[in-house]
Structure 1
Amino acid sequence: MSSTLAGRYGLHAVVRTKDGWAVPHAVVTVTDMSGHQVVRMDADAEGTVLTEPLSPGVYTVVVTAVGYAPIASTAIATASGSAELGVLVLARQGGVELPPPGVWTIDPAHSKVAATAQHLGLSSVQGRFSEFAGRIDIGTTAEASAVVAEIDATSIDTGNKTRDDHLRSADFLDVGPHPVISFRSTGLSPAGPDRWTLHGVLTLSGITREVDLDLAYLGTSPDPWGGLRAAFRAVTELRREDFAMNYNQIVQAGISLIGATLKVELDIQAVQGEPSAQA
């Protein structure tokens, strides 16, 4: 849009869930006071909507998205044609319902498993695992649900071969004798609307420890292949020393090459059914 690139824009808004996640598939419709539709567009990958300048006046803005209750808001375009609505929050339809009970299979092609470590106390380095699998058994209640997953430790990728080879060594992941990282849930307890603490045991570098993950359920949606998908996000923090990853290097008094903790982030899409049932 040439006018927006030139610094002029119309309606600006960001569509989010109440957990703060973007809703990139949201559709925003803008109508004038006579009911005439003047704009209809999708939010971008960050949930942002930015239109061409509008004629000065009052507008009705309706936001819809699959799996969410629609909302309406009033926007007033100034003489410059801009209208700022800020963050528009969508609530999931049906409140905090879980996905339908049964087996759900993690889809690695549309999921992310990543770990981030501090580097020199200044910046961070993120590594992603490209090979993993798992299943989620949704019960009739959240507490009756369970998760099992396995990660190929050799698939770590930080974008630097030398660093990746070191991470696979006995100083860190020790992939020779321990090529698989495994997780098995042991329980689930509520932590707020759409949020839970997922309790489980993690086996990493041959060492098993209890871990808790902060889990958010992001909703369900049909996919283009006739399936049904559920989305989740989970985060936790691990101490390297708990898994005997004690390697470090002091580069300056009080400053370590690598931080003592790892931030683990999981963005998961799961498809309803066993793997053989997927398209």
Structure 2
Amino acid sequence: MSELSGRLTTPDGWPVTGGTLTAVDATGVQQGRASSREDGGFVLDGLAGGSYTVIAAAAGHEPAARTIALVEGRATSLGVLELPKVGGDVLPAPGTWQIDPQHSSIQATALHLGLSRIHGRLRKFAGQIQVADPLENSSVEVVIDPASVDSDDETRDAHLRTADFLDTGVYPEIAYKSDGLVRIDARHWRLDGVLTLKGVSAAVPLDVTYRGTGPDLWGGTRAAFSATTEISRDDFAISWNQSVLAGVLAIGRTLRIDIDIQAVLG
């Protein structure tokens, strides 16, 4: 007899737990059945050699199927089966979507001493997404409190609030306002916009991934997005640095920004 293994995930790599895997032979008769584990992994065993269609299904996800030929007595891997969430390809409805800061995050990452990375989060922000029809006419506005910077070190955070970096006493807000949205494919978009930081405004595009839309626990409708970009500190008058051995900078000039957003339809 043969064994067939694999893993169920969402398209963005999260495991799908409790999914059902059914192996159907060439005549349409079910020959095996299993459930996915907490890590998304599954094993269908006791299968004779031959051709099978494996059907994967899980609550809240679109089903998927894959055909594979098994060799008698040999273990075979089906690899990863991706199950998109139901509604994952349904674009957000037109209207005003308020960003939920409790279920969203804005993180900046800088290179330290040319070796490792330091992460910091901006804890306080608010904003909205105005979804239009067509979607390309949508807009985004976000206001961030720079004094909410949190890098898990109080001394460093106090320095980040000074004129060397964010100068929060003089510039109490960071703002981002979009001025264009370009479709790459069904899930990927480029958001063009202007970032205003420390009194300087500059164009900063965001690479946006749409994560889907669905109901929440309180009767509302939510949409999820992630976005990334890189900015130069020099573009925003944040030029403080120290040079250490061989001219290596204490803090890299490029910041990587990672954003995860949940927004609620108003």
Q: For residues 223 and 109 of structure 2, what CA distance do their matches in structure 1 show?
A: 25
Residue correspondence of structure 1 range 163-178 to structure 2 within 5 A: 163-178=156-171
Asked if residue 15 in structure 1 is aligned to residue 6 in structure 2, the reply is no
Q: C-alpha deviations, 1:150-171, integer Å up to 9, x for none?
A: 1111111111111111111111
Q: Is the Cα–Cα contact under 8 Å of residues 8 and 15 in structure 2 kept in the other structure?
A: no
TM-score by length of 2: 0.84
Q: 1:25 to 1:112 in 2, by over 3 A?
A: farther
* Change beyond 3 A, Cα 1:92–1:268: same
Report how far residue 262 of structure 1 moved. 0.3
State the shift of 1:85 in Å. 2.7
Deviations 1:116-156 (A, max 9, x none): 00111111111111111110010011221000011111111
Q: How do 1:1-279 residues align onto structure 2 when only pairs under 5 Å count?
A: 11-17=5-11, 21-24=12-15, 28-33=19-24, 35=30, 38-41=33-36, 48-51=39-42, 54-57=45-48, 60-64=54-58, 66=60, 69-74=62-67, 84-90=77-83, 97-273=90-266
| Cα deviation, residue 10, structure 1 | 7.6
Uncovered stretches (5+) of structure 1, i.e. residues with no partner: 1-8, 274-279
Cα distance in 2 for residues equivalent to 1:265 and 1:85: 33
Letter in 2 for 1:218: R
CA contact (8 A) 1:13 1:84 kept: no
1:218 alignment partner, SS class: strand
Shift of 1:207: 1.5
For the aligned residue pairs, the C-alpha RMSD in angstroms reads: 2.8
| Mapped contact 1:64–1:71 kept (Cα < 8 A) | no
> What runs of 5+ residues in structure 2 fail to find an aligned partner?
none
User: Partner letter of residue 205 of structure 1?
Assistant: K
Give the count of matched residue pairs: 257
Give 1:64 shift.
3.9
Q: Which deviates more from structure 2 when the two are superposed, residues 55-64 or residues 125-134?
A: 55-64
d(CA) in 2 for partners of 1:96, 1:51:
26
TM-score, length basis structure 1: 0.81
Distance (whole Å) between structure 1 residues aligned to residue 91 and residue 14 of structure 2: 18
Letter matched to residue 264 of structure 2: V
Deviation digits for residues 233-279 of structure 1, max 9, x if unmatched? 11111000001110111111131111110001111111111xxxxxx
- 1:71 Cα deviation after fit: 0.8
| Kept in 1: contact 2:62–2:85 (CA 8 A) | yes
